[in-house]
Amino acid sequence: MRRSLQSALALFIVSLIVFVGVYGIGNPVELLVSPDATPEEVRRITGVLGLDRPMWEQYGLFIIGALHGDLGNSFVYNQPAISLIIERLPATFELAFSAMFVAILVGIPLGLWAGLRPNSLAGRSIMAGSILGFSLPTFWVGLVLIMIFAVQLGWLPATGRGHTVGVFGIRLSVLTLDGLAHIALPALNLALFKMALVIRLTRAGVREIMQMDYVKFARAQGLTEHRVIWVHVMKNILIPVVTVLGLELGSIIAYSAVTESIFAWPGMGKLVIDAINILDRPIIVAYLMVVVLMFIVINLIVDVLYTVIDPRVRLTPAAA
């Protein structure tokens, strides 16, 4: 209960910072009207957008609207900002979950290999690769991927979502071949950083678990190495890896703004970057509120889960 009050307070503070800050920069009317508009027209548009009122009044209207689920209309699209964001939410989620899937699919086997044979050439190359994965700026990797796979080799398309299929009214790319080809590069790009994280977590987990008594017992039972690794070790490393990745979901969504801009993926991240450049204030505010709210919810869920898990955490040292 105390946590949710704190969360509400955090959301309120962010809304205030964002609102005051965003409304302090530039005059969007100048960007919206044609250069030869008369002062009369400028005044009329300012009035229509409600920009002639004092800032506290604009903020008050914004808060009242926000509590009713209305975050204002986009200056450019002239549609409710919140529905523009929600329209693009599935594309961003699709990209984020695909990236996470790729990170797990590639990261766990590589981490397992590096953990089982830490001193082999392959093991050390995997670790060096994961350091590189941490160092490489995401946007530059995206450019290089486009350069190699789209421009030089011409294997995969560089922009857009391709064919989508409607599932319960949500359009998805991953269900068509064309869509899969379109999502491959952006998902790989977004996955790279998390892949490095998964490799390191898995490797550390494997090295620790291989020393455990139950692994020795499993071997003493005469189980094959294959069964020991895939049943006994895997079961125990998946828990921390999945927990950490769940925590990282929010950061994947935040970083997808970069990937979406590069690959022209029509998600909400691209929407907000474009909005910042054309000073479409309601979109910026609505995006930040939605993402911050998502973060607060994720953090809250994790906190709750930890308190549920807590007794076991406290029991472990006593059992050991």
Partner 1 sequence: MNSISTPTTLRARRTALSPLARFWARFAESRLALIGLALCCIVLLLAIFAPYIAPQNPYDPRALNILDGRLPPGSASMEGRIYWLGTDTQGRDILSAILYGLRISLGVGVLSTIFALAIGTALGLLAAYFGGRVDSIVMRAVDIQLGFPSILVALILLSALGKGVDKIIVALVIVQWAYYARAVRGTALVERQKGYMEAARCLALPHRDIVLAHLLPNCMPPLIVVVTVQVAHAIALEATLSFLGVGLPISEPSLGLLIANGFQFMLSGKYWVSLFPGLALLVIIVAINLVGDQIRDVVNPRLQH
CA separation for the pair 118, 203 (Å, rounded): 8
In the complex with partner 1, the residue whose CB is nearer, 228 or 257, is: 257
101, 114, 205, 252 from 242: Cα distances, Å? 11, 19, 12, 14
Structure tokens at 310: 């807590």
Which residues neighbour 42 within 8 Å (Cβ) at sequence distance 6 or greater? 29, 30, 33
Please tell me the total number of residues recorded for the chain in this structure.
Answer: 320
Smallest distance from the beta carbon of 273 to partner 1, in angstroms? 5
Site residues (vs partner 1, CB under 8 A): 10, 14, 17-18, 20-22, 24-26, 131-132, 134-140, 143-144, 146-147, 150-152, 158, 250-251, 254-255, 257-258, 261-262, 272-273, 276-277, 284, 288, 291-292, 295, 299
Smallest distance from the beta carbon of 254 to partner 1, in angstroms? 4
E strand or H helix at 114, and its extent?
A: helix 81-116
In the complex with partner 1, the residue whose CB is nearer, 112 or 257, is: 257
In the complex with partner 1, the residue whose CB is nearer, 75 or 255, is: 255
CB 253 within 8 A of CB 96: yes
For 170-292, list the strands marked E by DSSP.
170-172
In the complex with partner 1, the residue whose CB is nearer, 26 or 50, is: 26
Smallest distance from the beta carbon of 207 to partner 1, in angstroms? 16
Structure tokens at 84: 């523009």
Smallest distance from the beta carbon of 16 to partner 1, in angstroms? 11
Smallest distance from the beta carbon of 105 to partner 1, in angstroms? 23
Which residue, chain included where needed, has tokens 């869920």? 301
> Which alpha helices (H) appear in 117-212, and where do they start and end?
121-135, 138-145, 177-209
In the complex with partner 1, the residue whose CB is nearer, 147 or 309, is: 147
